[in-house]
Amino acid sequence: MKARVLKIHQKDNVLVALTNLKKGESIEHNGETYTLVDDVDAKHKFFIGDMKAGDPVYMYGVLVGKIQFDVSKGGRMTTDNTKHAADPYDYRGVQYEWHAPDVSKFKNRTFNGYHRSDGRVGTANYWLFLPTVFCENRNLDVIREALHNELGYAVTDKYKSYTKYLVDAYKEGTDINTLQIADMEPDPVRRRVFKNIDGIKFLNHQGGCGGTRQDAATLGRLLAAYSDHPNVAGVTVLSLGCQNLQVQDYLGYLKERNPAFDKPLYIFEQQRSQSEEQLVAEAIRKTFAGLTEANKMERRPAPLTELCIGVKCGGSDGFSGISANPAVGYCADLVVALGGKILLAEFPELCGAEQELIDRSVDEPTARKFMHLMRSYDEMAHKVGSGFHMNPSPGNIRDGLITDAIKSTGAAKKGGTSPVADVLDYTEKVRKPGLSLVCTPGNDVEATTGKTASGSTLILFTTGLGTPTGNPVCPTIKVATNSSLAKRMKDIIDIDTGSIIEGEKTIEEMGEEILEYCIKAASGEVIPKAVQLNQDDFIPWKRGVSL
């Protein structure tokens, strides 16, 4: 019989409802009986004892909140009766001992990737367009439409056809309210001109000028990081000319990041061109020539040590820390044990999990860098009237994530249990095998944008509510926390971990399945839904103003 409740850690004073529970029901767990005084929906929690104002609330074995007024045993946890709280943290000099998982079944496995001249291996082969300033966004849009349509990368053709279908029906006097997209005759499949080019990507943004010089510098380093990414074959840059982020600044950041950078790089400055038409046409011509060369590169076997996987959650729910996140965490441990790299970001969503991560750090400098970045970020958030405690969204709260510490301790499970090998500031390049912490906001797109800048070549993205988030150059794999979501939004979900909640699979079994999917995705054998839908989200972070 399927369990109805779950106690995550023996220290916890709440139980998690795995299914909808009704007021007045008697729930038995580990020899104790609890009579509910409220309805408790699945993913939400109820208290296992009478709680007094000021009492601590524990979940995942750590402090996640404080009681605001007396609550009876069997009462539901709410945003009224429980407010965020987290224990202070500091360096304690703990000698962490990690028990690595058995990776014998993955020994000597490979994936087929794109080998770059510096030894790194990409999981995809993209050509990148980027503007040094928002003034060039329109020119990028014009070029995107031309190249995507003619080279076979557009995904909007079916919607254009559907619109034409509606127009024709309207002209004929047909009731368009009855016409569904599935009723259309399928269009002929347009084949790609370049079989070894996985896409042409455009990093439209709103920066480069008008903000602070620090914002321009951060953007320059971000664009340089994307240019140097293992999944990128070549780059076309459009500049206006008078903006804060000058071309020579961008080139300086690129050289700083990779002195041996040798990819094709074409730069066009509008204020030095004869006309907009000449600028756009020349950018298209030069890029087309570059694509013909980049297309000559083919996938070749690479060891799993070359995998660099970012782990992320968004649209999280009360099951995230129970199913998808720990399953991804087990996959992360497998990758680390195999010699690969894992990137865990979203610093506002590590609030409450700090001490564990500090205790897992390989040395004191690593731990103190993490502490410095966490405290500096939280201080910046407080200066604009916010703070990590304000992180959960209305959707998070509605589905059981009542405080930031609850959300964070569940979110941290994505990183697994391996030692923290390194801590990276925003846009800093990953250099060490193992688990690295990357300073980014919790915001879905800002986090995936930053994680990719640090070098992730795949992203495992867990979600309980559903999200269309993707990334232009890093294939993003969506992992559902529950089967209901996986069935309802099957057009965007790649992996369903709901079987963990149902008691049909273990976290370890699911983690191994996730790694198998990653190997196939890294080889181009399966295409994640976000890639198929061209969900190419890119938002640079303006530090201190985003959680």
In DSSP notation, 490-519 reads TTT--EE-HHHHTTSS-HHHHHHHHHHHHH
- pLDDT reading at 385 higher than 90: no
pLDDT at residue 522, as a whole number: 98
- pLDDT reading at 366 higher than 60: yes
Give the pLDDT mean for 325-349. 97
Q: Which two tokens stand for residue 502?
A: 């149902």
Select from 309, 312, 403, 310 the least CA-distant residue to 351: 403
- pLDDT reading at 156 higher than 70: no
Select from 197, 229, 204, 220 the least CA-distant residue to 144: 204
Q: How far apart are CA 473 and CA 494, in angstroms?
A: 18
Stretch among 36-40, 193-197, 393-397, 420-424 having the lowest mean pLDDT: 393-397
Give the pLDDT mean for 69-83. 97
pLDDT at residue 188, as a whole number: 56
pTM to 2 decimals? 0.94
The one-letter amino acid at 88: P
Tens of pLDDT, residue by residue over 496-546, are 999 999 999 999 999 999 999 999 999 999 999 999 999 999 999 987 677
Question: Coil, strand or helix: which one is 356?
Answer: helix
pLDDT at residue 186, as a whole number: 65
Q: How far apart are CA 433 and CA 41, in angstroms?
A: 41
Residue holding tokens 């995507």?
148
Q: Averaging pLDDT over each range in 158-162, 256-260, 396-400, which range is the top one?
A: 256-260
pLDDT at residue 393, as a whole number: 84
- pLDDT reading at 390 higher than 80: no
pLDDT at residue 253, as a whole number: 98
Tens of pLDDT, residue by residue over 266-315, are 999 999 999 999 999 999 999 999 999 999 999 999 999 999 999 999 99
Alpha helices in 295-433 (DSSP H): 324-337, 354-360, 364-383, 394-398, 404-411
Name the band, by pLDDT with cuts 50, 70 and 90, for residue 168. confident
Tens of pLDDT, residue by residue over 91-135, are 999 999 999 999 999 999 999 999 999 999 999 999 999 999 999
Torsion sign across C-alpha atoms 291, 297, 298, 303? negative
Q: Count Cβ atoms below 10 Å from residue 95 Cβ, excluding itself.
A: 5
pLDDT at residue 189, as a whole number: 56
Q: Which two tokens stand for residue 90?
A: 């500091």
Q: How far apart are CA 442 and CA 436, in angstroms?
A: 16
Q: How far apart are CA 545 and CA 386, in angstroms?
A: 9
- pLDDT reading at 190 higher than 80: no
Question: Coil, strand or helix: which one is 225?
Answer: helix
Give the pLDDT mean for 366-371. 98
Tens of pLDDT, residue by residue over 85-102, are 999 999 999 999 999 999
Tens of pLDDT, residue by residue over 393-451, are 888 989 889 998 999 999 999 999 999 999 999 999 999 999 999 999 999 999 999 99
110 forms bridges with which residues in the sheet?
A: 303
Give the pLDDT mean for 480-485. 97
Distances from the Cα of 483 to the Cα of 17, 304, 327, 373, 492, angstroms: 16, 29, 15, 37, 13
